[in-house]
């Protein structure tokens, strides 16, 4: 069965006891791991218990398909249901799971983690159609979901977030759930969170967020966004390669570029309505970093609002393709950003 977005939260905390297996897949590997841990933790209190938890890789299942069924059928020596975790699953082990799911019940819950799988993926299709299995897509947090994660995480430590700080955090987090959690943990430590909710909350201000959150990650995404909007193909190639090496996902990169183009589009709209560029730039929240101000002003002269709107469409379409087509996401991201870079160079020549 396919678990809808509205049901995911309740499902991962209380999966149906009759399920034989659950598949977590998607481009956000951190969210895949977090949800897999939550599902496994609903069955086994200690995920390090060697008597009730066993871990396999997709490669191991492919090399010895019978081992999957053997592990799933075993009973725990200490009582309670077992969990079999399969990491790095691919379509190459779909047949092994087809045999497993042909059994209507099993002693263990098999929790499967995979990267992004297209709609025609045999493994994904198998889990979506089976009555005794479930499929959960794990995609990068949107602004609303990310705000919820931020408020939940910081609120648990007696911290609240100012509007400017929230805007900054949403703009600089979200590409990977585990990275987001780690960055927020740094912010909790920096802000002196007391480790519990209750009492008078400490407010996180913009300066706190800027001082602590993902300097390297944010800088790499900014470099990609500005190189694309500048029309500098060489710098874009370098920045994109660095972002991927640092673990940024293609969808996360595309969203960073979209955020930059949205700010550029909004600013151009104000300027074309007669507002002074300096006043509009000063009103941006979160504010521009000083080192990017001159580049942003140059882009205001380089682009028109209608051209930016078309570039936004390119980035949005590329994000959709990354999530739905099953094509290599990094290649699709690179192609879209190069088209945006070409549009920037064309705009510069025509101004």
CA atoms 299, 211, 218, 115: torsion sign: negative
H or E element at residue 183 = helix 177-191
Alpha-carbon distance 182 to 202, whole Å?
A: 20
As separate numbers, helices (DSSP H) first and strands (DSSP E) second, the chain gives 17, 7
What pLDDT, on a 0 to 100 scale, did the predictor assign at position 109? 94
Instruction: Calculate what percentage of the chain has a pLDDT beyond 70.
Output: 92
> Half-sphere exposure of 199 toward its Cβ, with a 13 Å CA cutoff?
12
Alpha-carbon distance 324 to 341, whole Å?
A: 24
Distance of CA 244 to the CA centre of its chain: 13
Beta-bridge partner residues of 22: 111, 134
Q: Which two tokens stand for residue 275?
A: 């507002």
Per DSSP, which regions of the chain are E strands? 21-25, 53-57, 82-89, 108-114, 133-137, 159-161, 202-204
3-class secondary-structure state, position 2: strand
Alpha-carbon distance 34 to 184, whole Å?
A: 15
Distance of CA 188 to the CA centre of its chain: 21
Q: What does pTM read for this prediction?
A: 0.60
pLDDT tens digits, one per residue of 299-308: 998 899 899 9
What pLDDT, on a 0 to 100 scale, did the predictor assign at position 60? 92
Q: Which two tokens stand for residue 132?
A: 């005794």
Q: Which two tokens stand for residue 248?
A: 């940024």
User: Please, are residues 62 and 10 in contact by the beta-carbon 8 Å criterion?
Assistant: no
Q: Which stretches in the chain have pLDDT values below 50?
A: 197
User: Please, are residues 226 and 291 in contact by the beta-carbon 8 Å criterion?
Assistant: no
Q: Which two tokens stand for residue 241?
A: 């390669």
Alpha-carbon distance 34 to 38, whole Å?
A: 6
Q: Which two tokens stand for residue 174?
A: 């979200």
Alpha-carbon distance 300 to 265, whole Å?
A: 9
Domains by residue range for the chain, with CATH: 5-137 (3.40.50.300), 143-212 (1.10.8), 215-350 (1.20.272.10)
Alpha-carbon distance 58 to 65, whole Å?
A: 10
Residues in the chain: 351
Alpha-carbon distance 242 to 237, whole Å?
A: 9
CB burial class (10 A; 0-12, 13-18, 19+) of residue 149? Answer: buried
Closest Cα partner for 334 from 262, 254, 263? 254
**C-beta atoms surrounding 186 within 10 Å:** 12
């Amino acid at each position: 069965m396919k678990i809808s977005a509205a049901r995911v939260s309740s499902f991962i905390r209380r999966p149906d006891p009759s399920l034989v297996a659950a598949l977590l897949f998607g481009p956000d590997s951190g969210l895949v791991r977090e949800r897999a841990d939550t599902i496994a933790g609903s069955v086994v209190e200690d995920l390090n218990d060697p008597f009730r938890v066993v871990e396999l890789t997709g490669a191991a299942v492919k090399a010895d398909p019978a081992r999957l069924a053997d592990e799933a059928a075993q009973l725990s020596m200490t009582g309670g249901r077992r969990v079999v975790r399969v990491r790095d699953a691919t379509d190459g082990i779909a047949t092994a799971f087809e045999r497993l799911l042909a059994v209507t019940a099993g002693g263990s819950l098999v929790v499967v983690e995979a990267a992004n799988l297209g709609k025609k993926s045999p493994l994904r299709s198998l889990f979506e159609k089976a009555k005794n299995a479930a499929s959960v897509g794990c995609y990068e947090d949107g602004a609303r979901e990310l705000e919820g994660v931020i408020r939940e995480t910081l609120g648990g430590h007696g911290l609240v977030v100012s509007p400017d700080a929230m805007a900054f955090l949403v703009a600089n987090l979200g590409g990977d759930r585990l990275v987001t959690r780690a960055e927020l943990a740094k912010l909790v430590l920096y802000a002196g969170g007391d480790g519990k909710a209750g009492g008078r909350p400490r407010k996180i201000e913009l300066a706190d967020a800027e001082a602590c959150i993902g300097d390297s990650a944010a800088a790499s995404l900014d470099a990609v966004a500005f190189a694309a909007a500048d029309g500098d193909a060489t710098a874009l190639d370098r920045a994109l390669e660095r972002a991927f090496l640092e673990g940024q996902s293609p969808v996360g990169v595309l969203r960073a570029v979209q955020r930059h183009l949205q700010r550029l589009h909004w600013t151009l709209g104000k300027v074309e309505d007669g507002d002074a560029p300096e006043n509009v730039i000063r009103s941006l929240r979160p504010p521009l970093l000083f080192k990017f101000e001159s580049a942003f002003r140059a882009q205001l002269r380089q682009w028109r609002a209608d051209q930016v709107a078309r570039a936004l469409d390119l980035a949005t379409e590329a994000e959709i393709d990354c999530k739905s087509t099953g094509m290599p996401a990094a290649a699709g991201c690179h192609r879209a950003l190069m088209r945006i870079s070409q549009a920037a160079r064309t705009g510069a020549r025509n101004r």
